[in-house]
Amino acid sequence: MTVATPPDIQSAAPRLQPSGWIRYFSFSVDHKVIGLQYLVCGFAFYLVGGALAGAIRTELASPVSDFMARDVYNQVLTLHGTVMIFLWIVPVVNGAFGNYLIPFYVGARDMAFPRLNAVAFWLIPPAGLMLISSYFLTGAAQSGWTAYPPLSITTPAAGQIIWILSVLLLGGSSIFGGINFIATILKLRRPGLKLMQLPMYCWAMLGTSILVVLSTPVLAGTLVLLSFDIVAHTGFFNPGMGGNVVVYQHLFWFYSHPAVYIMVLPAFGLVSEILPVHARKPLFGYVTMVYSIMAIVGLGLIVWAHHMFTSGTPPWMRLFFTIATAFIAVPTGIKFFNWLATLWGGRINLNSAMLFSCGFIVNFVLGGITGVALAQVPFDIHVHDTYFVVAHFHYIVFGGSVFVVFASVYHWYPKFTGRMLNEGLGRFHCALTFIGFNLCFGPQHWLGLNGMPRRVAEYDPQFTLINQISSVGALLMAVSTLPFLWNVVQSAFSGRIAGDNPWNALTPEWLTSSPPPVENWVGEAPLVEEPYGYGVPIDQLDLAAASGRDLWSSGK
Amino acid sequence: MTSTLTRTGDDARDDHNHEEHGDHRMFGLATFLVADAMTFAGFFAAYLTFKAVNPLPEGAIFELELPLPILNTVLLLVSSATFHKAGQAIRQGDHGRCRRWLLISAALGIAFLASQMLEYFTLPFGLADNLYASTFYAATGFHGLHVTLGALMILIVWWQARPEGGRVTAENHFPLEAAELYWHFVDGIWVVLFVILYLL
Ligand code: HEM
Ligand SMILES: [Cu+2]
């Protein structure tokens, strides 16, 4: 290798791309611009979804339906779930960080199909606006994010149809993104970079994209059939016309169980990047991590009916899906222990990124435990469709994925903007979020175990106190967003200058300026063979080996 | 310190500019077709489950005749072969022969659509008559949409393969290759559909 190659000026391809801030509103094909577009757009929808959650918790602070009418509650609930899943988590853990990081990680200057990439992003804002405006124009859909018939057929049609159209657009966006990630990871790798040298987030995105490509189309087809039931009065899922609602559930969950992994596998990948950097240790068990991801992908496709144990599923089906679901806990557990082992004995820097990652590990394991419990039929029959399920998946989706999104923002913000975030505010944000989150969703386990059904605006007055505690937690979470917002806005102007590599990290995105130049590197892309080579004593360094390892020790 | 730590390349690469390289595009298309196939898989799974657990009510009609669909199958299979011929011709640089085969393929595709229409109009049941009928129309309709798109693509490729100034040449024939892969895919789906809807 050569150190200090003279920057060979690339013949800058003349492209008609705006520069400056305006590019973030343009049809840019730069993967970094698109990544940030996903991130900011997703965050805007997160604020909308959060306001809706606030409305839900306000309503549930009292046992009667006083804050909003019942059918408004149903609309708010449906919008909340749909916005959070399809407009915030999925686009952000996949689209935002995937687009920003994957080309760096494979040593490419952009994604395999940059234009398709821009198209995929630009499907999202119109779909989201359409969905939200349906509330004001026609009344939004009322049948929850699952849109189960016959409810979705009998509730007002206009809102449901807009919901379907918007989810179809978002699904299309997701499929285009998935195709792009698969092609980029498999086909655009820099020469000399082997698959087993890729940073773990690449594996997570490869696995996720396989799930996206295999399962999202099934949801699309199903929703088209559902829309026929609504507008053309066919009877696919309409029992009144000889149709079969359980078929809808099978098709829906064939997508939507994998979808929970589409929301959480990329988060696994991101944590696997963050932990080694701030613990100054190699990622523990790289190879087992890779196989675990692929095992989760395979098993994730054959466990969907654990959502349908009370839908008249025959005993053999219950048995099969219970066992298959329990098996998923094995690769998931492997990953969990690998993260712990990565931290074990490390020189841990308890900064905001690390604190949020640790919060993720704690919350995720709690959600995983309730998940395994829910997979047991005798238990699930009691708590299905109660607040226990709500608690379970919020521990995973919020306590897991959203915590990781925040950890990632704290970790990569210096790369995005060239400036550091304020650590004090960051830790404050983390503490508030962690307390608020557990206060909000922890008690919901109890509510569910005692029989409070989910998705209903009213409840038995005996649950009032616990619901009020939960609502206080929600308020704390809402407040916790303020220091974060202030931090990201203020630091963009006056944060400390970050430099190229403030964390002394080894993965390739740090081996360039912050923010990076348009085609990622001036000169050749670096070949990082050991993205996690932290903590090697200086005298054991092979200076001829081209890994970022020497970079770290020279930086210390 | 960091921005200078780079490694000179073992070889010059050209795939890091923003060109969408041909090979990757075919790979991307193939990935998309996997996704597309999953949509059909969903429809077929629904149909088979309906058949297994939802008997038709008294008096509901769901009867299919075989002659037209068999003709359709033949039309599509032959069109796959003629498209293949067109691909061979362009690789040898024979634009005229290529375009003739393309036109024949498009004609076969359109004949398929016409014959499908004929079948629709002669069937004794309508879209919303019963569960099987609805699923039948959804699956064949979705497939017909694919054939329509495919036929359009063939015509576009036919235009692009003109001897003077077209995009499709002996050296560079990505549009033709893509349309051909897509067309074979649509034919393959038809065979599965034919077996499931008409034979089972
Ligand atoms: C350790 C692995 C997991 C297991 C064994 C598991 C198991 C289950 C089961 C059995 C249910 C159905 C409960 C019911 O409706 O009665 C459920 C619901 C749910 N899970 Fe999990 N889960 C796991 C991980 C996850 C992950 C990683 C996510 C998301 C990222 C997730 C999100 C959800 C959601 C959203 C629901 C509720 C869906 C609804 O009805 O609206 N789960 N889980
Ligand atoms: Cu599931």
Ranked by mean pLDDT, the top range of A151-160, A512-521, A545-554 is A151-160
Assess B36–A contact: CB distance below 8 Å, yes or no.
yes
pLDDT reported for residue A536: 64
Backbone angles phi, psi at A453, to 5 degrees: -70, 155
Q: Ligand 2 center to residue A303 CA distance, Å? A: 7
* Yes or no, beta carbons of A3 and B35 under 8 Å apart: no
The nearest alpha carbon in chain A to B3 belongs to A512
Residues contacting ligand 1 via CB (< 6 Å): A 146, 260, 263-264, 306-307, 325, 328-329, 332, 368, 371-372, 374-375, 380, 384, 389, 392-393, 396-397
Q: What residues pack around ion ligand 2 (CB closer than 5 A)?
A: A 257
Mark which residues 68-97 of B lie under 8 Å from A by CB: none
* Yes or no, beta carbons of A551 and B50 under 8 Å apart: no
Q: List all residues 6 or more positions away from A318 whose beta carbon is below 8 Å from its beta carbon.
A: A305, A309, A377
pLDDT reported for residue A17: 61
Confidence of residue B1 (pLDDT cuts 50, 70, 90): very low
Nearest to A67 by CA among A54, A81, A50: A54
What letter does residue A305 receive in the DSSP assignment? Answer: G
Model confidence over B75-122: pLDDT tens digits?
Answer: 999 999 999 999 999 999 899 999 999 999 999 999 999 999 999 999
Please tell us whether the domain made up of A27-540 is placed in CATH 1.10.287.130. no
Using CA atoms, how far apart are residues A520 and A353, in angstroms rounded to an integer? 24
Which chain A residues have a beta carbon less than 8 Å from that of B2? 500-501, 510-512, 551
Under 8 Å between Cβ of A491 and A419:
yes
Under 8 Å between Cβ of A142 and A72:
no
Domains in chain B (CATH in brackets) are 29-199 (1.20.120.80)
Average pLDDT over residues A275-281: 94
ipTM of the complex: 0.89
Under 8 Å between Cβ of A319 and A351:
no
Rounded to the nearest integer, the mean pLDDT of chain A is: 91
Using CA atoms, how far apart are residues A554 and A335, in angstroms rounded to an integer? 31
pLDDT of B17 above 70: no
Q: How far out from the chain centre does Cα A257 lie? A: 14
Using CA atoms, how far apart are residues A112 and B13, in angstroms rounded to an integer? 14
pLDDT of A107 above 90: yes
Using CA atoms, how far apart are residues A22 and A36, in angstroms rounded to an integer? 13
Assess A220–B contact: CB distance below 8 Å, yes or no.
yes
Instruction: Give the rounded percent of residues in chain B with a pLDDT score beyond 90.
Output: 71
Under 8 Å between Cβ of A144 and A106:
no
pLDDT reported for residue A394: 97
* Yes or no, beta carbons of A247 and B56 under 8 Å apart: no
Q: How far out from the chain centre does Cα A166 lie? A: 19
Using CA atoms, how far apart are residues A181 and A35, in angstroms rounded to an integer? 13
Q: How far out from the chain centre does Cα B128 lie? A: 27
Using CA atoms, how far apart are residues A467 and A473, in angstroms rounded to an integer? 10
pLDDT reported for residue A18: 65
pTM recorded for the entire structure: 0.90
Nearest to B30 by CA among B182, B191, B143, B162: B182
Assess A511–B contact: CB distance below 8 Å, yes or no.
yes
Q: Among B1, B11, B13, B16, which would you mutate to test the A interface (most chain A Cβ atoms within 10 Å of its Cβ)? A: B16
Using CA atoms, how far apart are residues A527 and A190, in angstroms rounded to an integer? 8
Among protein residues, the one with the nearest Cα to ligand 1's atom 4 is A371
Confidence of residue A211 (pLDDT cuts 50, 70, 90): very high
Tell me which residue in A113, A250, A551 faces B28 most closely, judged by beta carbons: A113
Q: What residue segments make up the domains of chain A, in order of their start?
A: 27-540
Task: Give the Cα-Cα-Cα angle A264, A225, A80 (nearest 5 degrees).
Answer: 40
* Yes or no, beta carbons of B8 and A114 under 8 Å apart: no
